[in-house]
Chain A
Amino acid sequence: MSSVHLKQLRMAFPDGTVGLHGLSLDIADGEFLTFLGPSGSGKTTTLRMIAGLEHPSAGEIWFGTRRVDLLSPADRNVAMVFQNYALYPHMTVRRNLEYPLRKRGVPRGDRASRIAEVTALLKIDGLLDRRPRQLSGGQQQRVALGRAMVRPSEVFLLDEPLSNLDAELRAHMRAELIQLHRSLGRTMIYVTHDQMEAMTMSTRIAVLSQGRLQQLATPHEVYHAPANKFVATFVGSPAMNMLVGRLELAGDVLRFVSEHLTVALPDCRRAELHGAPAQVAAGIRPEDLRLTPGEGDGRVTVVERAGHEAVVWLTLGRQRLVARAAAGTPAEAGTAVAVSVDGGRLHLFAEEGGQRLIGACPA
C-alpha cells in the first residue's frame, strides 16, 4: 500500500494528438480517488499509465518513494480490474484467482488460504470450478475483483468496472465497493464517466476534460463549488442551468442581470466579486430554481414526473431552463410560470475562460 504521485504526466499519441497535458496530482495512502470525465478526457489513459500498460511521453509516476514509470506492469505491483473483466476464458475461477499468486511465487498452501479468504469475502466460493463464460455478469465482476484483491498490492486500479452491469446490480456493487474499500484500506484509483459512482464512492474526485485536470476535490466540493463551467455542467443531473449576463451595481445592491432574469446578490458575495469581469455566466442548480406556476414570462415545455419529484423543462425567452420541483407541482406543459432564484444559490463564472468567481454563500 502506498501513496501515488503523478508529476507532469504527458501523453502524446503517434498521430500528434495529445491525450494528457502535464497532469500532476497526489493521491494519499488509503484514499479512494476517482477520475471522472467524458470519453476522451484522458482518465483511462492516466489509469493505464499508472498500471504500466501505457507509457507517458513525459513525466513521472511515484508509488510512495519508489519511482515506477520505467518499470513493467509486472514489477509495479498493482492490481487492476478491467472494464470487461478480462477473466482468462480457458481457466476456471480458481485458476484465475490463483494466477497472480503463482506469478508472484506464493507457495501453494498460502495460495489456497488466500483464495478461500477472498472468495468468502466476495461470496463466490461456490463458483471456484466454473469457467468465466458460465458466470453471470455480476459473478464475473466479483471474480475480477477477487483476482485483484487476492494478493497485496501497492494500489488497486479499477477501470469502469461497473459499466457492463445492469442498473440494479450497479447500485448494489457501488455499496459493496464502498464497504470493500473501508475493510481493505487500500489505495484505490477508480475511473468512470458515471458521476453517480464518483459522487457516492470517492474520497476525492479528479475531474478531467480534454486531457486537463479541471478540479480535484471532495464530492461535496465538486458539486457545491465547481471550479469552472465544465465541472459545473458535467456534474449534476439534470445539468446546471447556465445563463449569460453581467454584474451591475444598482445603488448599494450588486445584481446579476440577464435578458429575462435579474437576481440580487446578497452582501456576503460583494467582497469576493471585487474586480470581477462584467461579463459573467450564472449557474443555477435545477433544485435552486423556484417556480411559481400560473403567472410570469416562463413557459413550461415538458414536465417529467418521476414519482418522488418532478423535473420541469421551461423556456424563459430564448433561454432553456430546467428545474426540480415537488412531485405534486401544478406546472403543466404550455402553462406560464414565474422563475426566481435566491441570490445566495447562484454560482458565478467568468464568461471568458469559465473560471469560478464565487460559489454559493455559506448557509
Chain B
Amino acid sequence: MLSPQRRDQLTGLALLAPTVLLFAGLIFYPMAQSLFLSLHKVSTLTQRTQYVGLANFQALFADPAFLTTFFNTIVWTVGAVLLQLVLGVAGALVLNGRLVGRSLARGLLLFPYLLPTAVAVLVWRWLFNDLYGLINHVLMSVGLIAAPIAWLSQSPNAMITVILVGSWKFFPFVIIAVLARLQSIPESLYEAAQVDGASRWAQFWDITLPQLASVLSVVILLRGIWDFKEFDLIYLMTGGGPGISTQTLPILVYREAFQLLNFGRGAAVAVTMFGFMLLFFAVHIWATRHHETEGR
C-alpha cells in the first residue's frame, strides 16, 4: 500500500501532468528546436539542415543592420519604459487621491492596456495621418508647425511616434501596480507623520516614495521584458521602417524567418533574444525572491 504522502504526491503530479506535457511539447521542444536551427543552415526548398556551428551568429553580429536593430530595440525599450513610468506614477497618484468621478477616470485610464493592439494602431495611425490626421491639423491650426509632419515615414519621427503610442498603450500597467502599492500603505503612517509635523511634500518624500521603491524596480523590470519583446505594436505602426529605423529584434526574427525564409538566421536572432530574456528573468527572480517566500 502506498503511504499517504506518496499517494498525495502522485495526485499532485497527475493534476499537473497535462500542463507539463503541453509545456514540454509546445514550449520546451520548440525552444530546443530554435537552438538547433540557429546552429544550422536550412535549405529553403528541401528544409534539409546542415550544421554550421556558430556561423549564423557570426554573420549576424558582423551585420551592421543587426547592430542598428539591436540599438533600436534598446532605444524603444528604454524610451517606452521611462515614459510609461512617468505617466503611470502620475496617474496612480491622481487616482489614489480625491477626485470627482474617480472610478470612471480609472476605467478610462486603464482601458488602453486591454485594447487590441491592432485597434490602438489603427486609431493612432488615423490620428497621425500625414494628410488628414487630426494631430497635424491641430498643430498647424494653432501655428506650431507650418507644414504637415510625416510622423511615421521619416526618421527619427517614426521612433518617437512609436514610443509615444507604445507608452499610451502600456502605461496602465504602471498605474495599476503603483496604485495597488499606494493603497496598501497604511493610513496610520501618514497620520503619524502629520502628528510629527511633516508637510504634505515631506510626507510624499519620506513615506510614499520609499514605499514605492520596490514596486518601481519590479515594474521597470517587467515592462522592460515585455517592451523588449513587443512585436505587434511596432510592426503594425511602421513595419520597422522607414528603412530599418524602427526595426527591433522581434521584427528582425519575423523578417529573416518569414520574409527572407532564412530560418537559421531567424533562429539565431531569436536565440540571442532568448539569452537576453534569461538575463532579465534572473534579475526578476532575484528582485522578487522575498515576495515569493512571503506568498507561500
A-B contact count (CB 8 A): 10
A70 within 8 A of B: yes
Q: Which parts of A203-258 form the interface with B (CB within 8 Å)?
A: none
B183 within 8 A of A: no
A252-296 vs B, CB cutoff 8 Å, 1 = contact: the mask equals: 000000000000000000000000000000000000000000000
> Which of the 9-residue segments B1-9, B28-36, B106-114, B141-149 touches chain A?
B1-9
Q: Which of A52, A70, A72 has the most CB of B within 10 A?
A: A70
The docked-state distance in angstroms from the alpha carbon of A71 to that of B3 is 8
B97-131 vs A, CB cutoff 8 Å, 1 = contact: the mask equals: 00000000000000000000000000000000000
Q: Which parts of B121-175 form the interface with A (CB within 8 Å)?
A: none
The docked-state distance in angstroms from the alpha carbon of A255 to that of B7 is 62
A55 within 8 A of B: yes
- Chain B residues with Cβ below 8 Å from A72 are 4, 7
The docked-state distance in angstroms from the alpha carbon of A1 to that of B91 is 63
Secondary structure at chain A's binding surface: helix, strand, loop or mixed?
Answer: loop
- Chain A residues with Cβ below 8 Å from B1 are 70
- Chain A residues with Cβ below 8 Å from B3 are 55, 70
B251-289 vs A, CB cutoff 8 Å, 1 = contact: the mask equals: 000000000000000000000000000000000000000
The docked-state distance in angstroms from the alpha carbon of A70 to that of B7 is 11
B1-23 vs A, CB cutoff 8 Å, 1 = contact: the mask equals: 10111010000000000000000
The docked-state distance in angstroms from the alpha carbon of A110 to that of B236 is 69
- Chain B residues with Cβ below 8 Å from A71 are 4
A67-98 vs B, CB cutoff 8 Å, 1 = contact: the mask equals: 00011100000000000000000000000000
The docked-state distance in angstroms from the alpha carbon of A71 to that of B2 is 10
The docked-state distance in angstroms from the alpha carbon of A52 to that of B5 is 11
- Chain B residues with Cβ below 8 Å from A70 are 1, 3-4
Quote the shortest CB–CB distance from B155 to chain A (angstroms): 57
Q: Which of B1, B3, B4, B5 has the most CB of A within 10 A?
A: B4
Quote the shortest CB–CB distance from A19 to chain B (angstroms): 15
The docked-state distance in angstroms from the alpha carbon of A71 to that of B1 is 10
Quote the shortest CB–CB distance from B35 to chain A (angstroms): 34
The docked-state distance in angstroms from the alpha carbon of A71 to that of B7 is 11
The docked-state distance in angstroms from the alpha carbon of A72 to that of B7 is 10
Quote the shortest CB–CB distance from A10 to chain B (angstroms): 14
- Chain A residues with Cβ below 8 Å from B4 are 52, 55, 70-72
CB-defined A-B contacts under 8 Å, sample of 10? A52-B4, A55-B3, A55-B4, A55-B5, A70-B1, A70-B3, A70-B4, A71-B4, A72-B4, A72-B7
Chain A interface residues (CB < 8 Å from chain B): 52, 55, 70-72
Chain B interface residues (CB < 8 Å from chain A): 1, 3-5, 7
- A52-B4, A70-B3 given. 8 additional CB < 8 A pairs? A55-B3, A55-B4, A55-B5, A70-B1, A70-B4, A71-B4, A72-B4, A72-B7
**Closest 7 interchain pairs by CB?**
A55-B5, A55-B4, A72-B4, A70-B4, A70-B3, A70-B1, A52-B4
